[in-house]
Amino acid sequence: MLARNSDPIVAIATAPGRGAVGIVRVSGPDVKSLVTALCGRALRPREATYLPLRDAQGQAIDQGLALHFPAPHSYTGEDVLELQAHGGTVVLQLLLARCLQAASEIDPTTGRARLPGLRVAQPGEFTQRAFLNDKIDLAQAEAIADLIDASTEAAARSAGRSLSGAFSQEIAQLREALIHLRMLVEATLDFPEEEIDFLQKADAQGQLDRLQAQLGRVQQRTRQGALLREGVKVVIAGQPNAGKSSLLNALAGAELAIVTPIAGTTRDKVEQTIQIEGVPIHVIDTAGLRDSQDEVERIGIERAWSEIAGADAVLFLHDLTRAAQPDYQAADQAIEATLNQTLAARVPVLQVWNKLDQVSPDHAAAYQGVHLSARTGQGLDAVRQQLLQLAGWQSAPEGLYIARERHVQALQQVAGHLDMAARCLAAQAQSLDLLAEELRLAQQALNEITGEFSSDDLLGVIFSKFCIGK
């Protein structure tokens, strides 16, 4: 686990820097004594009180709001104190230091330290407490971080739905159906002489078919949700002067890359994230691909191939004005051959023909792919739609929730186990033990999504990605 879960914790819960308001948050088994030390009085539960926040000498550090959330009705499920002051760095550090100091002071009414063991929280520890105290499940905890990190409006809305439990409810429905089928199979193992008739009467095959169909629908929505969070890495590749930098600028709507008629102008990658229908597309412009004796350009070309090797999709840009030239065609064929050797079979390559405004329609029609003019913008919408198709994006269904790659992989494991379970069920009595085991493994993979079952290492990785105050 990240840390000792019984320790009271404190942290600045707002982003570093200056701001109108900053928050210091404390969570622990009982913070009433600390409230008295900092605020000079008790607080009404869940009611904001405006008052001076005091240092050890009773002097006001700042005037602000204090809120006390008694357990279990709080974010973490423990007693929580939130101090809302002006968002200056020094003010918040003073409040944080005062919390730590007051925690070790002796409360005159009890003769004990006010909040012994109070320490600064580690990243994600407040949310981890919420998970451990059953305030949220693991998928909802991840949705909190995704909501904070959302780069598009669609991603933010989808993360909000996951936080509200939409994704978790779908997983719970799958789990309920899976458990019902498991119970049926396990029961038949106690009555071997009747097991086949029993399974047939209970429509075990129909239950498994419906479960697989339901899983397929959840997988499709989860893949879409993962796209909203992760986005797609698209590399623009091609020969020098094909218009790669112009295309990046056109997609981004800004002059990000230098554009000149001189071959080899782009020496290093230029990256920009755009959004198309709410999906983040990470577009990378690279150096023109050719044989070069220039050392700097050669390094840029090596980096271009490195980016291409890690791409989710490649946009292979061609120059229509040079397309009929034999030397240009040969160079394009060489690049195509290297792309086929470099890219995994699953990585799509989109053929795009640029400079449509400089050639006749008949000339452009001879070349298959997407035709555009990066200079005028003609055909740019077609490129955007093709990028979405390459990413596997479909029109966002109503109520789409955010998801992560680990969720996609877990559901793939579930699908694999259910496929094996179907084979075992088809084999009837000879494989019922294996059928029961495959269903158990499928449920275990489902449980890892919401944290019904999860290793300490997995929790540590997930919550360490949070900010300190979460």
pLDDT over threshold 60, residue 397: no
For residues 317-326, give the mean pLDDT. Answer: 93
For β-strands 60-69 and 79-85, DSSP reports them as: antiparallel
What is 9-136's CATH number, 3.30.1360.120, 3.40.50.2300, 3.90.320.10, 3.40.50.300? Answer: 3.30.1360.120
- Fold classification of 237-391 is Rossmann fold (3.40.50)
pLDDT given at position 1: 40
Going by pLDDT thresholds of 50, 70 and 90, the confidence category of residue 2 is very low
Q: Is 241 annotated as a binding residue?
A: yes
The reply to whether 460 sits in an annotated binding site is no
Please indicate if the annotation marks 148 as binding a ligand. Answer: no
Alpha helices in 285-404 (DSSP H): 295-309, 326-342, 361-365, 380-391
**117 marked as part of a ligand binding site:** no
User: CA 346, CA 343: separation in Å to the nearest integer?
Assistant: 8
- Is 373 known to sit in a ligand binding site? yes
Cα–Cα distance measured from residue 100 to residue 113, given in angstroms and rounded to the nearest whole number: 11
Q: Tell me the two tokens of residue 358.
A: 């400089």
User: Does residue 44 have a known ligand-binding role?
Assistant: no
147-227+404-451: CATH class: mainly alpha
Residue 109 among known ligand-binding residues: no
Structure confidence by residue, pLDDT tens digits, 144-154: 988 888 877 88
Q: According to the annotation, is 246 in a ligand binding site?
A: yes
User: How big is the chain, counted in residues?
Assistant: 470
Residue 264 makes CB contacts below 8 A (sequence gap 6+) with: 240, 287, 288, 292, 294, 297
Among 410, 397, 350, CA closest to 224: 397
Paired strand residues for 463: none
pTM: 0.73
Q: According to the model, what pLDDT value does residue 196 have?
A: 54
**Domain map of the chain by residue range?**
9-136, 147-227+404-451, 237-391
Q: Is 288 annotated as a binding residue?
A: yes
Residue that the structure tokens 């259910």 belong to: 418
pLDDT at 64 over 90: yes
133 is known to lie in a ligand binding site: no
Mean pLDDT across the chain, nearest whole number?
Answer: 86
